[in-house]
Structures are given as structure tokens and as C-alpha cells.
Amino acid sequence: MLFIQNNSNALCVQPRTTSSVVNMSRRKLTSEEARAAERLTALFLAQKEKTGLSQLALALACGWQTQGTVSQYLLGKIPLNAEAVVRFANFFKVPPAEIYPELASGLGMTTTPNLDQYSQSASTTSVSPKAQELIELIAELDRRNILSADAIDAVKTLLSSIAAAPSSSTNS
């Protein structure tokens, strides 16, 4: 027993016995939840390799105080909820459906083709600043889920026709 005295009041605190501890075992993640954790982990590891991103930096950017929450999600200790999926999707600049498609479709979040893959691959190759600007603009429209499949096809058609045209000596 522990006695704490504060001014004239005394408080008696009795430690819990092991029999009073509640079993707080976690449920096992469903296969969908586990796959979502794997996709999130892949995004994290790719960004970590590219920029040195830490779990703490990710946690702070997503609005959590410590890296513990991020670790729990990455390890699949706790299932991703809609709020966490949106926070991670915003950070990684991907549609929520790229992390957890089953949850995103259940919430009516539009699944659009992920153009970030083009942005990332282009940034690793040699492209002009103008081309990089165009790639980033398209990726931003995709992140905002305002780029439809028809719009993507139209852009592809336009760019293909420009590429097929005879080149001019002006590169403006």
C-alpha cells in the first residue's frame, strides 16, 4: 500500500493485483486490413529510401504526437481507419484507394489511376523542367481526384499526336 499526503488530506492507493488486470489482447487483422498495412509499409519504405523519412517525421506530418501510432499501423498491430488512411494518403500524395481500396470504395472515395508513378519515374530520369512541371501538374490533378479516366485518355492522345508530329527546331 502506498500513502500520499497532500496538505491535510491523505490518500491511500492500493496496487492492483494480477487478477484484476483485464486481458486486452488484440484481434487479428483481416486479410484486407493486413494488405492495407503492407501497402502503407511499401509507401513508407520507398519514401524512407528516397528521402530518409522517419516514422516520427511521418507521425508529426500526419498530426500524431509520437511515432508509436505510425509504427502500430505499419506493423499491422492496429487496423487502418478512414481518418488514418486519408492522413497517410495526403502525406504520400496518393489516392486513399492506393492504400486501402476496400475502405475507400466503401466510403465512396473515387479510385483514379495513380499518376504519381509517372511523376516518380520521370523524376529519376532526365527530363526538362517543362516536362517535370507538366508531370507534376497532372499528378496534382490526380491527387485531388479531379482527373477522370476520359481526361487521362485525352491527354495521352494529345501527347501521342504531338510526339508523332515532325519535330521543330524550337524547344520553347
Q: What is the average pLDDT value for the chain, to the nearest integer?
A: 74
Between 27 and 44, the more confident residue is 44
Please give the average per-residue pLDDT across 93-105, as a whole number.
Answer: 86
**What is the predicted pLDDT for the residue at 118?**
42
Which segments of the chain are extended strands (E)? 2-6, 9-13
Amino acid at 65: Q
* Placement of cell 494518403 in the chain: 89
Residues 6+ apart with CB under 8 A from 82: 96, 103, 107
**What is the predicted pLDDT for the residue at 33?**
92
pTM of the prediction? 0.51
**What is the predicted pLDDT for the residue at 112?**
44
pLDDT at 67 > cutoff 70: yes
Distance CA 105, CA 108 (A): 5
Please give the average per-residue pLDDT across 10-39, as a whole number.
Answer: 69
- How many residues does the structure list for the chain? 172
What distances in angstroms separate CA 115 from CA 7, 10, 137, 149, one per listed residue? Answer: 65, 65, 10, 11
Please give the average per-residue pLDDT across 95-113, as a whole number.
Answer: 73
Closest CA to 88 of 76, 99, 78: 99
What domains are defined for the chain?
31-106 (1.10.260.40), 116-163 (no CATH)
